[in-house]
Chains A and B, each alone.
Chain A
Amino acid sequence: MENAGNPSAPLYGVGAEFATAADLTRAAREIRGAGYESFDVFSPFPIHGMDKIVGARRSPLGRIVFIGGLTGFLTAVAVQYLPSAVIYPLIVHGKPTGFFAIPAYFPILFETTVLFSAFTAFVGLLMMIGLPRFNHPLFNWERFKGVSGEGFFAVIESRDPRFSTEEAGRFLESLGGSNVTVIHED
C-alpha cells in the first residue's frame, strides 16, 4: 500500500480508486454490508441511488432553513406592522379598512423570508460541511485531485470503530480497487 500525506501525522483513512460508476456503486454496497459506518465515496457526477446505498441520513439543513425562513417572515411582519399600524398610523398606500394593509406588505414578507432562508442555508451548509478550511487530508493523495474530472474513489475513514489499516486496505483491494493508499493528515 502506498502512503499519502505526512506519515507521522494522524491517520485519516484508506482509499482506493475504482474504474466505473457501477464498480463504485457495487463497492459502496459491499463496504456498507461489511459493517463500516464512516466511509465515503467520491465521483465526478452524482450517482443516482448512492445516498441510499451509503446509508446517508437526511440532512437536517431543511429544518434549519425552515426556522431561518420563519424568522425572516416574522421579522418582516414586525417591522411593517409596528411602524405603519402602531407608531405612525398614517392613511397612505390604500388603507381603507385598517392600517395593516396586507397586499402592500406581501413583497417584503416574501423577500425577507427568502433572504433569511438563503442566508441560513448558506451559513448552515458551510458550518455543517466544515468550511472554510485550508486543506482536507484527502487532497494529500495526488491521484484524488482528479476526482472532479475523472476517477471514482472510496475511502474508509480511521474514525470507524471497525477500522484497521491492514484489513481496510485488503478489503478495498478485494473489491477491485486499485491504487490503494493510506492517507495521513498534513
Chain B
Amino acid sequence: MSLRPDQKFDYRHVGYGFLAACALALLAFFGLGIGAVLDVRQFAFSYLFAFVFFFTISLGALFWVIVHHAVDAEWSVVMRRQLENIACLFSALAVLFIPLVFVAPVLWAWMDPANAGNAVLQEKAAYLNRPFFWGRSLVYFAVFIGSAYLLRAYSVAQDASGLARCTVYNRRVAFASIVPMALCVTFAAVDWLMSLDWHWFSTMWGVYLFAGAALSSLCVLVLVVTALRSVGYFKNLITEEHYHILGKLLLAFTIFWAYIGFSQYMLIWYANIPEETSYFILRNTGSWNVLSILLVAGHFVVPFLLLLPSFGKRRPGFLCGVAWWILAMHLLDVYLMVLPELHRAGFRPSLMDLLAVLAIGSTLVAVYLKALGDSAIYPIRDPRLQQSIDLQN
C-alpha cells in the first residue's frame, strides 16, 4: 500500500543527518575504546550511566504504549507510532548492552572473586550470582523487545489492513505485558544499579527509576513530535490540544518523580539505619551534595513552577524548552545513581561520560531515523484516529 507524502517520512528532511549520526557514533565509540584501554573503571561506569539514561527513555515509551492500549486511550493515537518507534529501540539497546558484559566484574564489584568471602555477599549469593544475573538480564530484554515489537507489528499491520482486530490484539498484548514489565523494570533497576553497592538496598528503587523513565520519554515524545511538525508533518493532526495534554502529563510525572524520590529519601533518612543511609551519605556530602541539591531544584522545583500555570502547556516552543531541561536533569539523575560509586571522594567529570552519551545517543538516533521511514508516521487506519485528531480538553 502506498502512503501519501504527509504520512511517510522523507529522508531529505534530515539531509546527511543519518550519516552524521553514524559517523559520530563510530568516532565516539572509537574514543571510548581508547578510553577503555586507558581506564577501564571509568569506562565501565560512564558507559553504564549513558546506557541506563537511554534505556529509561525506551522503557518509558514502552510504558506509554502499553498504557495507551490497556486503557483504550483516544488522545494519543496520532502520536502512538512515534512512541512505538522509541520503544523498539530496545533491540539496539540489547546490542549496546554487550560492552557491559566484558567489564562486568569491574562495574559490579560483587562479581569480583576478591569479594567472594564477604559475609553480606554470601548471604545474598542466592540472588547475586553470575548465571542468575545474566539470565535475568536476558529475560528483561526478551520481555521488553517482545512486547515492543508485537505492539508495533500489529499497529503497522493495521496501517495496511485497517482491521479493528489489530487493536484488540494489541490490547491483549498490553494486558499480558503489564505485570512482566513492572517486574522487569524493578529487577533491572536492582540488578544494574542497586547492586553497584551490594550492601545497600531500597524497596522504592524500581519505582524511582520508572518515574524518571515515564517522565523523560514524554519529553522525548514532545521533542520528536515538534521536530516532525517543524518540517511540515502532522499538519492539522497534532494541535495545541495535544500539547496541552502532554504538558499536563509532564507536570503530573514531575510531581510523581518528586513524590517517589522523596518517599525513598524520607524513609531512609528517618530510620537512619547504616546499611540504608550509605547511599545518601555518599551523595549528600562534599561536591556530590551540590549536584544532589541541584537535582532537587532542577528536576522538581523548576519544571513544577514552569508547568503549573496553563499558559506554557499550549505553546510547543515553551514545552520543548521544558522538555530539554527535564531531559538534562534526568541525565543528572542517572549520573548521580552511577558515578558516585566510582568517585567516592567527590565529583570528577570525565571525557568518557560525554563520549558514552554521544556514542549510545547517536547510535540510537540513527536506528530511530531508520525506523521512522519504515512505516507511516502515525497509525493511519486506527479506528480511533479521528477522535484523537478532534481532541478537545
Contacts and interface: CB of A to CB of B under 8 A. Distances in A.
Interface of A: 48-49, 52, 62, 66, 94, 103-104, 106-107
A103 B269 contact: yes
A68 to B, nearest CB: 14
Across chains A and B, which 9 residue pairs bring their CB atoms closest together, nearest first? A48-B392, A49-B392, A103-B269, A103-B266, A106-B262, A94-B272, A103-B265, A106-B266, A94-B269
Indicate the member of B265, B310, B392 with the most A CB atoms within 10 Å. Answer: B392
A62 B248 CA distance: 15
Interface string B270-301: 10100000000000000000000000000000
Interface residues of B, number: 10
B258 to A, nearest CB: 10
Contacts of A62: 310
A43 B197 CA distance: 59
Contacts of A103: 265-266, 269-270
10 contacts: A49-B392, A52-B392, A62-B310, A94-B269, A94-B272, A103-B265, A103-B269, A103-B270, A104-B270, A107-B266
Contacts of B265: 103
Contacts of B266: 103, 106-107
Contacts, number: 17
A72 B272 CA distance: 29
A62 B262 CA distance: 26
Contacts of B308: 66
Nearest to A50: B392
Contacts of A94: 269-270, 272
A107 B265 CA distance: 12
Indicate the member of B265, B270, B308, B310 with the most A CB atoms within 10 Å. Answer: B270
B307 to A, nearest CB: 13
Nearest to A103: B269
Given A66-B308, A94-B269, A103-B265, 9 more contacts: A48-B392, A49-B392, A52-B392, A94-B272, A103-B266, A104-B270, A106-B262, A106-B266, A107-B266
Contacts of A52: 392
Contacts of B269: 94, 103
A89 B269 CA distance: 20
Interface string B226-240: 000000000000000
Nearest to B269: A103
